[in-house]
């Protein structure tokens, strides 16, 4: 892990000593949330992720970009083991969440998913009231007190910047909301159990530009308290909101670095081709 960090920062072309210090400080202070070591994943015989090495830091927004089918969604679904819902999946190597391998047989998947929340590509609220959507997570984890639940619901909806829009209709079905609002309800639902990491799988691809902007602003606000990993097809989005970017191609990590570096002076020719729109 440490080797990789140093390698990454070594290769960063340092423009000023000040910048160098800040970057070094960054690397030293920020703890690793997800350390991926020699991670491979197969769907049946299809080798979808090849020897992934990736260290994701806390309180960063990490963007994962790459063309369709490059394994980026598979990778973040591996981080909360949602990928195991596909029965033919096999894995090797390690993904360490806060230092513990999540693929250890003794690791309880519910415990992992309580810490690592997820927002999906298509908004998927439950066919319940807005209130019940948000309260679902806390309830299944044993919080029954109405007063505490009320507080959690308000706090989560405020956190997802949707409180003002829905505060007068908390008892209405969440399916009556617009797509963008539904997606923020899903983010609020995720915030309600106060996870450590939020995984976002192309959270704005089904949304209109205004809703997209709102979700992007939200990501910026959330990064103070959460580590966010976001898969996106939209390279401008990655450039706008992320601190670090990983470029995936054919199941491999081609390049992983600070976002400004990836988008200004990529190290690998394939990264440059992709971000300049020559393929993908």
Partner 1 sequence: MASQGLEKEQSVQQLIAQSRNKKGKKIVEKLMPLILIITALISVLTTIGIVFTLIFETFEFFQRVSITDYLFGTEWLPFSGSEPLYGVLPLVLGTLKVSVIAACVAVPLGIAAAIYLSEYASDKTRRIVKPILEVLAGVPTIVYGFFALTFVTPLLQQLIPSLKIFNALSPGIVVGIMILPMIASLSEDAMSSVPNSIREGALALGATKLEVSLKVVLPAALSGIVSSVVLAVSRAIGETMIVSLAGGATPTFEFNVTGSIQTMTAYIVQVSSGDAGYGTTIYYSIYAVGFTLFIFTLLMNLLAQYISKRFREEY
Residues that bind partner 1 (CB under 8 A): 80, 82, 85, 110-114, 117-118, 120, 122, 124-128, 136-137, 139-141, 173, 175, 186, 189-190, 193
Query: For residues 15 and 144, which CB has a smaller minimum distance to partner 1 in the complex?
Result: 144
Query: For residues 139 and 233, which CB has a smaller minimum distance to partner 1 in the complex?
Result: 139
CB of 156 to partner 1, least distance (A): 12
CB of 196 to partner 1, least distance (A): 12
Query: For residues 219 and 239, which CB has a smaller minimum distance to partner 1 in the complex?
Result: 219
* Structure tokens that stand for 106 in this block: 């003794």
Sequence-ordered list of residues with C-beta below 8 angstroms from that of 163, at least 6 positions apart, any chain: 154, 157
Query: For residues 85 and 210, which CB has a smaller minimum distance to partner 1 in the complex?
Result: 85
Is the Cβ–Cβ distance between 37 and 96 less than 8 Å?
yes
Is the Cβ–Cβ distance between 208 and 179 less than 8 Å?
yes
CB of 80 to partner 1, least distance (A): 6
CB of 3 to partner 1, least distance (A): 32
* Distance of alpha carbon 197 from alpha carbon 72, whole angstroms: 17
CB of 104 to partner 1, least distance (A): 17
CB of 175 to partner 1, least distance (A): 5
Query: For residues 125 and 159, which CB has a smaller minimum distance to partner 1 in the complex?
Result: 125
* Structure tokens that stand for 264 in this block: 């200004």
* Structure tokens that stand for 137 in this block: 């997570």
Is the Cβ–Cβ distance between 232 and 247 less than 8 Å?
no
Residue 80: count other Cβ atoms within 10 Å of its Cβ. 22
Query: For residues 163 and 175, which CB has a smaller minimum distance to partner 1 in the complex?
Result: 175
- DSSP string across 103-134: TSTT--HHHHHHHEEEE-SS----SSBHHHHH
Is the Cβ–Cβ distance between 30 and 57 less than 8 Å?
yes
């Amino acid at each position: 892990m440490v080797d990789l960090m140093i390698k990454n920062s070594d290769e960063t072309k340092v423009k000023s000593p000040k910048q160098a210090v800040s970057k070094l400080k960054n690397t030293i202070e920020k703890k690793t949330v997800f350390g991926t070591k020699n991670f491979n994943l197969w769907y049946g015989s299809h080798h979808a992720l090849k020897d992934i090495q990736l260290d994701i830091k806390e309180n960063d927004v990490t963007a994962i970009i790459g063309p369709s089918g490059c394994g980026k969604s598979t990778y973040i679904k591996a981080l909360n083991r949602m990928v195991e819902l596909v029965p033919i999946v096999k894995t090797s190597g390690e993904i360490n969440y806060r230092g513990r391998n999540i693929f250890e047989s003794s690791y309880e998947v519910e415990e992992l998913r309580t810490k690592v929340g997820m927002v999906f590509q298509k908004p998927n609220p439950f066919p319940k009231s807005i209130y019940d959507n948000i309260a679902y997570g806390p309830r299944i984890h044993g919080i029954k007190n109405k007063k505490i639940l009320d507080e959690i619901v308000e706090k989560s909806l405020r956190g997802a910047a949707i409180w003002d829009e829905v505060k007068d209709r908390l008892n209405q079905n969440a399916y009556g909301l617009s797509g963008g609002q539904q997606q923020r309800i899903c983010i609020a639902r995720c915030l309600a159990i106060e996870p450590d990491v939020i995984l976002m799988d192309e959270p704005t691809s089904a949304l209109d530009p205004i809703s997209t902007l709102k979700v992007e602003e939200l990501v910026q606000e959330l990064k103070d308290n959460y580590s966010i990993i976001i898969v996106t097809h939209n390279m401008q989005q990655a450039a706008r909101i992320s601190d670090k970017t990983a470029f995936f191609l054919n199941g491999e990590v081609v390049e992983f670095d600070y976002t400004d570096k990836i988008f200004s002076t990529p190290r690998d020719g394939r990264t440059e081709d992709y971000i300049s729109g020559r393929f993908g």
